[in-house]
Amino acid sequence: MGTENSFPLSDVRADESCREEPFGGLKLLKIVIYGTGYVGLTTGAAMAFLGHEVTCVDIDEAKIASLRGGKSPIYEPRLDELMELAGGNLRFSVDPAPALSEAEVVFVAVGTPPMADGNPDLTAVQSAASSIGRHLGLGFTVVVNKSTVPIGSGHWVESLIAEASGEGDIRNLRNRCCVASNPEFLREGSALCDILYPDRVVVGSENPTANEVLARLYEPILQQSFTAPWFLPRPEGMGAVPLVATDLASAELIKYASNAFLCTKISLINEIGNLAEKVGADITHIARGMGLDARIGGRFLQAGLGWGGSCFGKDSAALIATAKEYDIRMPIVEAAREVNYAQRDLVVTKLLNELKILKGRTVGILGLAFKPNTDDIRDAPALDIAQRLIDRGARIQAHDPIALDRASCQLNHSGIRFGPTAEAVAAGADALVLTTDWAMYRDLPWKRMAKTMANPLILDGRNFLDQAQLVNAGFRFLSIGR
Ligand SMILES: NC(=O)c1ccc[n+]([C@@H]2O[C@H](COP(=O)([O-])OP(=O)(O)OC[C@H]3O[C@@H](n4cnc5c(N)ncnc54)[C@H](O)[C@@H]3O)[C@@H](O)[C@H]2O)c1
Ligand SMILES: O=c1ccn([C@@H]2O[C@H](COP(=O)(O)OP(=O)(O)O[C@H]3O[C@H](CO)[C@@H](O)[C@H](O)[C@H]3O)[C@@H](O)[C@H]2O)c(=O)[nH]1
């Protein structure tokens, strides 16, 4: 506090506009969020639920129209309920100008999809930053980068804002605005719990005021001082949440390093699983035996078809690409990727071993989303596996309880046929592959399904099903790493 570029915290909001402060006198803020995707929308709903005044903006008019009509364009458990609870605190617009002119905190939560060279495409971040610069208000604004961006992007965003604001010189801009990094660690499918009950909050900025404003913004979460919504109960024994306040580059790197670690953990257990299978061991027992060591921990040791989703592949590639700029190799992260994408070949290998010929065979795929409890199909193992089987001449029929609509819209030329139920994709199939561990797949009418198949063979790609139950139902049962 008290640096040339900072402003007194009591001025974060003008006094006359202070609203009620339900969390022990905490100041509520006017927030704008760029991007209403999996991160922006869930963050917006959570911040609005905590009492802040939130405007979510997006360039996608259809998304905004849908949100204004009370319908979330993404599937995330309990999001509809939280949005309803947030009520009038949560607004949506395609026009950032009115809300931005009064905003105290602006989150950037736009997509950073991967490019062919591994670097993320920063076009959306660039356009959001320019828009912020153009519409910046007269008060002080903390711009918070929640998008996962390469190291140094915070400084770049600051320069874009300065340019668009007409300040030109960044030093002038710093009287009105500063940029912070606040990486997001939520998992799809449990996003709201991950936001409200995080393991930690990381904020990074060169400006101490930014870190203080963010500490204030996160206060109810850090202190767990809010009343939990009945449908998102606070985990038992949850205490205060640690805040890691650091510099921009470290915050940006914490995000990539965390994902790289998780990717590596999963790939390591898969590598061990491949050996376990050869020597007649069981990877689920091995993972349990390893995970009970507190230094290792039992989470993210579930062997199977490996990771997918919009983050792990993209972020591990981006980390390698960033290191390359500094002439550094990341052999461990490279190996984690190699192991991961090879896991997807196991399906082809195992089905070939059993069926001998894949041409003309029908394979039913259970699960299209990259993990359960989401409709997200970005880098979903199921889609890659389906393509690898199609390349071998197989016919694919696939089901997913939630991602079916999105998949059939986006993949209508893929050759995949989409079945309305798991039973429908089993009918007439030569094999079933469980690619996503949706809870509803645990108790399917397996006996009936086995009877309708041309060949009752199932490969449990997530080591999720009850082997004895499936064998009892008449299936030849395959799994991974055991
Ligand atoms: N999805 C996750 O689980 C997750 C978790 C942590 C971090 N992240 C990171 O957060 C960022 C967002 O991810 P996501 O999954 O929410 O993406 P998403 O694709 O679901 O949503 C991005 C949204 O940004 C909008 N957008 C693009 N350009 C815009 C602009 N100029 N102005 C306003 N809106 C714009 C898009 O229309 C889209 O609705 C990415 O950098 C991602 O790596 C994602
Ligand atoms: O033991 C495990 C755990 C996960 N997975 C797979 O790994 C992928 C990712 O799962 P998960 O991490 O639960 O979901 P994401 O929503 O992709 O979340 C990851 O990516 C986000 C985006 O960066 C981060 O914010 C989160 O912290 C990080 O967990 C999925 O395909 C899972 O099936 C496994 O194969 N084995």
Full-prediction pTM beyond 0.90?
yes
Q: How high is the ipTM of this complex? A: 0.99
Rounded average pLDDT over 422-440 = 98
Contact residues for 410 (Cβ-Cβ < 8 A; gap 6+)? 377
Residue 171's pLDDT is: 83
Give the DSSP letter of residue 59. Answer: S
Pairing of strands 105-108, 141-145: parallel
Are 134 and 36 found together in one domain?
yes
Asked if the model's pLDDT at residue 460 lies above 50, the reply is: yes
Q: Is residue 360 domain-shared with residue 312, that is, in the same domain?
A: no
Domain total for the chain? 3
Structure confidence at residue 1 as a pLDDT band (50, 70, 90): very low
Residues 91 and 179 reside in one and the same domain: yes
Q: Mean pLDDT across the stretch 325-330?
A: 97
The strand pair at 53-57 and 90-93 is best described as parallel
Backbone dihedral region for residue 300 (phi beyond 0: left; psi -120 to 50: alpha; all else: beta): left
Tell me the CA–centroid distance for residue 223 and ligand 2, in Å: 26
- Does ligand 2 come within 6 angstroms of the Cβ of 266? yes
Residues 101, 130: one domain?
Answer: yes
Diameter of the chain measured on Cα atoms: 76
CATH number at residue 391: 3.40.50.720
Catalytic residues: 311
Asked if 206 and 348 sit in the same domain, the reply is no
What is the CA(109)–ligand 2 centre distance, in A?
Answer: 19
Query: Each residue of 149-178: pLDDT tens digit?
Result: 999 999 999 999 999 998 878 888 888 899
Using the mean position of ligand 1's atoms as its centre, give its distance from the Cα of residue 145 in Å.
11
Q: What's residue 110's pLDDT?
A: 98
**Do 168 and 134 contact (CB within 8 A), yes or no?**
no
Q: pLDDT digit string (tens) for 354-377?
A: 999 999 999 999 999 999 999 999
- pLDDT band, residue 26 (cuts 50/70/90): low
Separation of 131 CA from ligand 2 center, angstroms? 32
**C-alpha distances in Å from residue 449, one per residue of 45, 252, 425, 431, 475:** 41, 48, 9, 11, 10
| Length in residues, the chain | 482
Tell which one of 39, 184, 262 to mutate to probe ligand 2, the residue whose CB is within 8 A of the most ligand atoms.
262
Does residue 270 share a domain with residue 166? no
Tokens linked to 371 = 């993990």
Is the pLDDT assigned to residue 6 strictly greater than 80?
A: no
188 marked among binding-site residues: yes
By residue range, what is the domain housing residue 383?
344-478
Are 396 and 389 in contact, with CB atoms under 8 Å apart?
yes
Asked whether 128 lines ligand 1 (CB < 6 A), one says yes
DSSP state of 176: T
**pLDDT averaged over every residue in the chain:** 93
What is the C-alpha to C-alpha distance for residues 217 and 200, in angstroms, rounded to an integer? 14
Q: Tell whether 318 and 426 lie within a shared domain.
A: no
| 297 and 431 assigned to the same domain | no
Q: 187 among the known binding-site residues?
A: yes
**Ligand nearest the Cα atom of residue 307:** 2
Q: Is 185 annotated as belonging to a binding site?
A: yes
Please check whether residue 349 lies inside any domain of the structure: yes
107 and 137, same domain (yes or no): yes
Q: Sorting pLDDT into bands at 50, 70 and 90, what band is 412?
A: confident
Q: How many CB atoms lie within 10 A of CB 425?
A: 24
Q: Do residues 73 and 52 both lie within one domain?
A: yes
